[in-house]
Structure 1
Amino acid sequence: MKQCRRARKAHIDKANALSVTKQCEVLQISRSSHYYRKVPQSNLNLNLMRLIDEEFLNRPWKGVPRMTNWLQQDMGYAINKKRVERLYRVMGLSASAPGPATSKKGKGKKHKIFPYLLRNLNITASNQVWAMDITYIPVQGGYLYLCAVIDLYSRFVVGWSLSNTMTSEWCRDTVETAIGKYGKPEIFNTDQGSQFTADLFTEFITKQGIALSMDGKGRALDNIFIERLWRSVKYENVYLYAYQDGRACYDGLKQYFQYYNMERRHQSLAYEVPAQVYNRTKKEAA
């Protein structure tokens, strides 16, 4: 008997020997839709988060005090610093100069920091270096987190996913799907967020024979290409369409990433599209 998507999602079991990614494939549902559940917030908080998101995207050096002052003096909100601090935590923002860190640094035995491997590295082909990051996405009545994996040479987005929580499992499953489609990179770069330093994530990457690299603390320029991706995603899609719910957001982003990979010409790529550069210069996995 054919079941609806909601019924098929009910069969997913995180304790199962199969990963969530494989279970979603068997059940023929989107992994992104499995992870999405709306996160409620007050209308005031949602409005503030939307303003903070755009302001921080343009001025990532703004910490909580400066952002609070901007919201009070320039935007007319009678709010206190504690509210802004709380929203920064919810959104995964940190103004450690010169830019944002997507999530808190992991602590304890089950978290490990890896050295930064991209300094002075000459990136000459696709599948040489992939990078991953997470950003906040507003939707009507709530918000989501978007993670993406980008090939640094070609700017080709090899994987992405939506979720209402930032977990290592979610990040691992997104990378696993990307590897299944496009092979393995030689180096995989992230920030030092707890999702990426957790054993569950780091062991998955290293067991693939991939060298794991992590940005230096407070060094937004280490991951500059994916930060540029977030600007494009938000200004060319998310802010324009103000999605009503998670399903609409997923469908809209799916169309956007198809456009970004297959049609959007980049000045830095001599006005070629990412897919052309990626396919022409791809290093095959060993």
Structure 2
Amino acid sequence: MIDRNHDLSISRQAKVLSLSRSSVYYRPRPVSAETLKLMRRLDELHLEHPFAGSRMLQQLLKAEGFDIGRRRVRSLMKRVGIEAIYRRPNTSKPAVGHKIYPYLLRDVEVLRPNQVWAIDISYIPMAKGFIYLVAIIDWYSRRVLSWRLSITMEADFCIEALEEALAKHGKPEIFNSDQGSQFTSIDFTDVLKREDIKISMDGKGAWRDNIFIERFWRTIKYEEVYLKAYANVPEARQSIGQYITFYNLKRPHSSLDWNTPDQAYCNHPQHINQAAA
């Protein structure tokens, strides 16, 4: 983690750890072990029952012995960044004055790499505390093109992930996100406009609009995150990085004719021709 008394500057330490610089100046309030346990269990229940709202989640938690009110369930859902499939929480609402773009992918057939990219943020529990993971995925191949960790949900680490994906993989025709303030921010959308990329945003409550990245969250949490108890951010970064490398290079997908995302992305004829050009 960041050592504020180290000889290296905080900015340099953040760069080494691949953390956004603004997030390291944020000093989070301590979170009790009971609250962390509740947050993790809420996230697990959401993956098992994505249709469950705060009322149902409260009853499910009570059945497991948690003494919790609905207001606290709603508060923790907002903190974790989860919602029932029919409702978006405040974490996915744009800030006042931010422009909302239309959803461009309805009835669009995605046939090639770099036709559509998608981005999203997910909560990652640790042994003590939690962090957020942002990932950018190519819709055609399911390949993770870039990712970042942060201790806050500010836009900085999302912009860093976007800039990295563009630098390494070119650019998509369409870029899709939800209506979260990180993705509607002027700084974020200006990067897309600079590259002349069409901006697409999920409709309100339309959870299926970004279904491929939702599936990735389910996969990485069941196969990596929930099997570990990261002691700190560097450990989480290393372990998650190793899993994403495995996911891209070695994990076959039935929807890709049992190819890996890397094979589907790199071996597509159009992508090969574009790379050669």
Query: After TM superposition, is the score higher than 0.5?
Result: yes
Contact kept, 8 Å, 1:32 with 1:250, in 2: the verdict is no
Contact kept, 8 Å, 2:88 with 2:204, in 1: the verdict is no
Matched, 1:250 2:237: yes
Q: State the distance in 1 between where 2:225 and 2:37 align.
A: 15
Q: Compute the TM-score of the two structures, normalised by the length of structure 1.
A: 0.86
2:83 corresponds to which letter in structure 1? S
1:9 to partner: Cα distance: 5.0
Contact kept, 8 Å, 1:127 with 1:184, in 2: the verdict is yes
Matched, 1:275 2:265: no
1:94 to partner: Cα distance: 2.2
Q: Which moved more, 1:99-108 or 1:227-236?
A: 99-108
Contact kept, 8 Å, 1:102 with 1:133, in 2: the verdict is no
Q: Deviations over 1:145-176 (max 9, x none)?
A: 11100000011100111111111222111100
Unaligned ranges ≥5, structure 2: 1-5
Matched, 1:48 2:35: no
Matched, 1:153 2:140: yes
Give the secondary-structure state (helix, strand or coil) at the position aligned to 2:235.
helix
Q: State the distance in 1 between where 2:218 and 2:89 align.
A: 15
Give the secondary-structure state (helix, strand or coil) at the position aligned to 2:91.
coil
Q: Which residue of 1 aligns with 2:92?
A: 104
Instruction: State which of 44, 61, 67 in structure 2 corresponds to 1:71.
Output: 61
Q: Which residue of 1 aligns with 2:77?
A: 88
> CA 1:9/1:176 → structure 2, altered by over 3 Å: closer, same or farther?
farther
Q: Which residue of 1 aligns with 2:3?
A: none
Q: Which moved more, 1:30-39 or 1:148-157?
A: 30-39
What is the 5 A alignment of 1:14-29?
24=15, 29=16
Q: Which moved more, 1:30-39 or 1:59-68?
A: 30-39
Q: State the distance in 2 between where 1:38 and 1:232 align.
A: 31
2:179 corresponds to which letter in structure 1? Q
Contact kept, 8 Å, 1:94 with 1:102, in 2: the verdict is no
CA RMSD of aligned residues (A): 2.3
> CA 1:157/1:132 → structure 2, altered by over 3 Å: closer, same or farther?
same
1:89 to partner: Cα distance: 1.4
Q: Which residue of 2 aligns with 1:57?
A: 47
Aligned-pair identity in percent equals 42
Aligned residues: 265
Q: Which residue of 1 aligns with 2:191?
A: 204
Q: State the distance in 2 between where 1:253 and 1:11 align.
A: 23
Q: Deviations over 1:42-95 (max 9, x none)?
A: 1110010111000001111111111111111x1111121222121111111222
Contact kept, 8 Å, 1:261 with 1:275, in 2: the verdict is yes
Instruction: State which of 217, 222, 240 in structure 1 corresponds to 2:209.
Output: 222
Q: State the distance in 2 between where 1:218 and 1:146 align.
A: 21
Q: State the distance in 1 between where 2:223 and 2:143 align.
A: 17
Contact kept, 8 Å, 2:158 with 2:182, in 1: the verdict is yes
* Higher relative contact order, chain-length normalized (CA < 8 Å, sep 6+): 1
Kindly report structure 1 stretches of 4+ aligned residues shifted beyond 4 Å. Answer: 6-9, 33-39, 99-102
Matched, 1:135 2:122: yes
Q: State the distance in 2 between where 1:199 and 1:215 align.
A: 18
Q: Deviations over 1:13-40 (max 9, x none)?
A: 9xxxxxx9xxx4xxxx242486568853
Q: State the distance in 2 between where 1:163 and 1:211 align.
A: 27
1:232 to partner: Cα distance: 0.7
1:151 corresponds to which letter in structure 2? D
